[in-house]
């Protein structure tokens, strides 16, 4: 007969604590072995070419031009300045594409669910076509269309007055004004946005007088803006000078191609997220709104969209993250974003290990920043309750 007195503790190698510790130690040791193997090879290979690692090179002079940028980088500035120009270009083209893709995506997503069969057909055709063709092909296509098929500046295509499409880029008229007027406009638009935001977020929908006050303030802001523009502004129209345009503002073919490719491609994915969000709102909500006598448009705007937004925002935010990461494909058409700068630096200065570390750090920071924003938004939304 066995009693508990006969119980023998299992040998130490069968105890859970030992096994778990052993497994973890084995993994760490294995990983360290692989790493030291790689590092050993790397230092041997680097010693052969007598190079040392270090980030000192970012202070050295960059002997290359980047093509475009708003930071005013020129050859002769530091490599660090080149990287900064690249980061700004990445953020610029991403931001422009995010705005356009969101607007286009919401429109296509809503049309995809319309009661009109033609609009359903058109939008689902758009989504399927764009989602199944690689982004890089789309960017190369737009770039080829701009640089090969658009006319030279002398024969520029002008669909509307003051806008010229050429193989050297897009030229358009801008309103020029003194800096003081510009800052006045900025201040007025902040006021306008603040008024609209206050109205949108306030829960008070009953006080009609208060709303009227909001409208008056917003209206006054708009009138003041118009007044500033009309009195101080002058239109700067691009004009042919020699082989190219002078005056006005322009966008390069590279930026246009990256922007078009990213926006049109990403809009298809955002449209799907919007659609999923709208379908995620229960049918009862729509029926309740209809039985209250709201029209289709009102139901959409006041009942469905606010709830759909809550479902769609997280996936759309991850689309934004994808847009930033996908902007790196611009290197294929030499738009000087961070990845392009990195390849230029590698070919001019070398230092591939350090440069790759820098671009990874940059993208990780951008990703972390966007996810932090996203989490803050989610938290705020959860706190508000549904």
Partner 1 sequence: MSAGGDEGTDGRHRLRTVLRPLFGTPVNAALTVVILWLLVTAIPALLRWGIADAIWFTDDPKDCIQQEGACWAFVGAKARLIIFGRYPYDEHWRPLLAMIIVLAALVLSADWRQWRRRNWGRFLIGLWAVTIAASSMLMAGGIAGLESVEIDRWSGLPLTVMLSVFGIFLALILSVLLALGRQSKLPVIRWLSIAYIELIRGVPLISILFMAALLLPIILPSGFEISKILRAQAAFVMFFAAYMAEVLRGGLQAIPRGQYEAAETIGLTYWEATFKVILPQVFRLSIPSLVNVFIAAFKDTSLVVIISMHDLMGTTNAAISDPAWSGIYIEAYAFTAMVYFIFCGGISWYSQKLERHLKVGRR
What is the rounded CA–CA span in Å between residue 139 and residue 332? 8
Choose one: 91-99, 131-139, 150-158, 372-380; the region binding partner 1 (CB under 8 A). Answer: 131-139
Q: How many residues bind partner 1 (CB under 8 A)?
A: 58
Q: Is 316 in the site for partner 1 (CB under 8 A)?
A: no
Q: Which of residues 3-22 bind partner 1 (CB under 8 A)?
A: 20
Among 129, 223, 241, 382, binds partner 1 (CB under 8 A): 129
Shortest gap between Cβ of 23 and partner 1 (angstroms)? 6
Using alpha carbons, select from 277, 275, 282, 269 the residue that is nearest to residue 309: 277
Q: Which is closer to partner 1, CB of 50 or CB of 116?
A: 116
359's enclosing H/E stretch is helix 352-384
Residue 236 to residue 227: CA distance in whole angstroms: 18
Taking CB under 8 A as the rule, does residue 364 contact partner 1?
A: yes
Question: Does 353 sit near partner 1 (CB under 8 A)?
Answer: yes
Instruction: State the minimum distance, in angstroms, from the CB of residue 346 to partner 1.
Output: 7
Query: Among residues 284 and 297, whose Cβ is nearest to partner 1?
Result: 297
Q: Is 373 in the site for partner 1 (CB under 8 A)?
A: no
Number of H helices, E strands in the chain: 12, 7
Stretch of 71-79, 140-148, 174-182, 249-257 contacting partner 1, by CB under 8 A? 140-148
Taking CB under 8 A as the rule, does residue 363 contact partner 1? yes
Which contiguous run of DSSP H or E holds residue 204?
none
CA distance 112 to 120: 5
Contact call for residue 128 and partner 1 (CB under 8 A):
yes
Segment near partner 1 (CB under 8 A), from 4-12, 37-45, 195-203, 222-230? 37-45
Cβ-contact 191, 183 below 8 angstroms: no
Least separation in angstroms between CB 42 and partner 1:
5
- Comparing CB distances to partner 1, the nearer of 128 and 287 is 128
Q: What is the dihedral of CA 260, 266, 272, 276, to 10 degrees?
A: -130
The least CB distance from residue 28 to partner 1, in Å, is 6
From CA 377, how far away is CA 348, in angstroms rounded? 42
Listing DSSP states for 71-136 in one string gives S---BTBBHHHHHHHHHHHHHHHHHHHHHHHHHHHHHHHHHHT-S-HHHHHHHHHHHHHHHTS-HH
Beta bridge partners of 235: 175
360 binds partner 1 per the rule CB under 8 A: yes
The reply to whether 97 sits near partner 1 by the rule CB under 8 A is no
Which one among 99, 137, 198, 235 touches partner 1, defined by CB under 8 A? 137
206 sits in which H/E element: none
Tell me: does residue 342 bind partner 1 (CB under 8 A): yes
Where are the alpha helices (H) located in 133-252, listed in sequence order?
Answer: 135-144, 179-201, 208-232
Using CA atoms, how far apart are residues 302 and 200, in angstroms rounded to an integer? 12
Of these, 356, 373, 376, 382, which contacts partner 1 (CB under 8 A)?
Answer: 356
List of residues contacting partner 1 (CB under 8 A): 20, 23-24, 27-28, 31, 38-39, 41-42, 44-46, 48, 111, 114-119, 122, 128-129, 131-137, 140-141, 144-145, 148-149, 296-297, 325-326, 328-329, 331-332, 339, 342-343, 346, 352-353, 356, 359-360, 363-364, 367-368
């Amino acid at each position: 007969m066995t009693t508990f007195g006969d119980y023998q503790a299992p040998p130490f190698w069968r105890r859970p604590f030992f096994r778990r510790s052993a497994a973890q130690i084995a993994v760490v040791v294995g990983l360290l072995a692989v790493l030291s193997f790689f590092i050993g090879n790397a230092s041997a290979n680097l010693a052969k070419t007598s190079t040392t690692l270090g980030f000192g090179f970012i202070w050295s002079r960059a002997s290359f031009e980047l093509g475009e940028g708003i930071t005013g980088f020129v050859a002769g500035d530091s490599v660090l300045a080149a990287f900064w120009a690249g980061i700004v270009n990445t953020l610029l083209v991403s931001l422009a594409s995010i705005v356009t893709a969101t607007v286009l995506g919401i429109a296509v997503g809503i049309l995809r669910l319309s009661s009109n069969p033609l609009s359903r057909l058109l939008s689902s055709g758009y989504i399927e076509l764009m989602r199944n063709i690689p982004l890089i092909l789309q960017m190369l296509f737009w770039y080829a269309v701009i640089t090969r098929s658009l006319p030279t500046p002398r024969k520029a295509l002008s669909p509307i007055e003051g806008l010229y499409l050429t193989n050297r880029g897009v030229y358009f008229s801008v309103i020029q004004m003194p800096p003081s007027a510009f800052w006045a406009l900025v201040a007025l638009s902040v006021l306008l946005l603040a008024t609209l935001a206050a109205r949108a977020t306030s829960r008070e929908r009953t006080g009609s007088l208060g709303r009227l006050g909001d409208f008056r303030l917003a209206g006054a802001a708009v009138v003041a803006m118009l007044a500033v523009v009309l009195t101080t502004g002058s239109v700067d129209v691009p004009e042919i000078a020699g082989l190219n345009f002078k005056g006005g503002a322009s966008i390069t073919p590279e930026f246009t191609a990256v922007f078009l490719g990213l926006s049109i491609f990403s809009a298809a994915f955002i449209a799907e997220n919007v659609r999923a969000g709208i379908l995620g709102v229960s049918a009862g909500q729509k029926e309740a709104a209809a039985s209250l006598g709201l029209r289709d448009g009102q139901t959409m705007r006041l009942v469905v969209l606010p709830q759909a937004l809550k479902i769609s925002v997280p996936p759309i935010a991850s689309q934004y993250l994808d847009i930033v990461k996908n902007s790196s494909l611009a290197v294929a058409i030499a738009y000087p974003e961070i990845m392009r700068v990195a390849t230029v630096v590698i070919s001019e200065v070398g230092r591939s290990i350090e440069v790759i570390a820098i671009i990874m750090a940059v993208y990780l920071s951008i990703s972390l920043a966007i996810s932090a924003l996203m989490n803050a938004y989610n938290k705020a939304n959860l706190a508000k309750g549904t």
